Amino acid sequence: MKPPAFHVEFRLNGRHFSSVNKLLQYAEKHLADDHTFFLHQWFDDSLVFEVQTSGSTGKPKTYRFAKQTAVAVARRSIDFFGLPPASKVLLVLSSDYIAGKMMWVRALTGGWHLDVVPARKTIELSCSEYDFGAMVPYQAYANRDQIERFGTLILGGAPVGDEFVKSVKQTGTHLFLTYGMTETLTHVALRALNPPAAKMINARDSDVYHALPGIRFQSDENGRLIVHDPLTSKAPLHTRDLVEWISPTRFRWLGRADNVINSGGHKVIVEEVERKLAGRLRQAFYLTGIPDNDLGQRVILVMEGQGSEQLIENIRQAVEHAGLHPYDRPKDIVFVPRFNRTRSGKIIRDFGKNSI
């Protein structure tokens, strides 16, 4: 059975559409190609649709999902966040990837009033207030003064720094960081970033992820997360994410197993160190490991932009005051004029794989 065309209350940029064809005609004239392509894919005769991973951690992969499965996952989020028909929602993500695609599915299924704006770093809002929205962290950093205009705002696709979390504690928005991936059709767990969000999910610790209804977690012998979600798969999903497992519905995310650096026998979890440095460093950056005769791997800090003596000194001071374990501290600083990024804005960690 095909999913329903769209909810009768659905609006796009303030417009009502009497048919799928009318909606597609509008999209072709007024929306970016990524949104138009997905809408054509969603409304075609196939019972499935394809989605590709971003490729930020390796070669992009393509997955196929039943459209009815996506609708069921969308309804779970709609019900959890309490977003009835006519909710005012903003889409500022690319529909090349799962986050943008699922915002469309939620809007079409839930009868939302959806505003679509270009997926850029700086966002121009067309409405004074929104009930719901989703951004990647770098958009939230660049538009921090707009966060209060959302009833609920979810962030995903990358970790957030400690300094950012401190800066949003007083906002009235229900602000969450999500955990999810292409294979789970976006978020399966939420981390509350401020008191209103914590109250909504009854969270006591700001660094703990809480499962959405129906989802269960466990960890394997190596501390990697396993996801059980009957909506998306009968089989458990074994991830590459290192976690501190707390209960079947809660965990702390530590980082990607692929990003662990073994330096002198000490395991450096890259994302944990980056979280402590985020907000202290103004340029985009990431940590990586390179071969070292004594340590096995040496931690280096890769910075975007041009270096100078003053900037290097500022970076060293920031690292010094970040409270890092001695083995976690970068031994070298390398500057790359411009990072390679995916279309969704994720940094591709390819130092050493291309000329710099």
Domains and CATH numbers, the chain: 11-256 (3.40.50.12780), 264-336 (3.30.300.30)
CA angle 103, 70, 157 (to 5 degrees): 50
Phi-psi region of 265 (alpha: psi -120 to 50; beta: other; left: phi over 0): left
Quick one: pLDDT at residue 184? 95
Give the torsion through C-alpha atoms of 184, 122, 175, 328, to 10 deg. 80
Q: What is the 3-state secondary structure (H, E, C) of 46-114?
A: CCEEEEECCCCCCCCCEEEEEHHHHHHHHHHHHHHHCCCCCCEEEECCCCCCHHHHHHHHHHHHHCCEE
Distance separating the N- and C-terminal Cα atoms of the chain: 52
What is the mean pLDDT, run by run of 10 residues, along the chain of 356 residues? 80 96 97 96 94 68 93 97 98 94 98 94 86 93 93 92 89 97 95 96 93 97 95 93 96 90 88 88 90 87 91 91 89 92 78 50
pLDDT at 5 (0 to 100): 82
- pLDDT for residue 2: 60
Structure tokens at 88: 């005012």
> What is the reported pLDDT for 356?
31
Q: Could you give the angle at the alpha carbon of 259 between the alpha carbons of 313 and 122, nearest 5°? A: 65
Kindly state the tokens that stand for 210: 């809480």
pLDDT value for 349 = 87
Q: What is the pLDDT of residue 72?
A: 97
Which pLDDT score, from 0 to 100, does residue 355 have? 32
Q: What is the pLDDT of residue 1?
A: 57
Element (H, E) at 37: helix 33-42
Residue from 18, 217, 177 nearest 6 by CA: 18
pTM here is 0.84
Q: Which residue in 80, 75, 78 sits closest to 212, CA to CA? A: 80
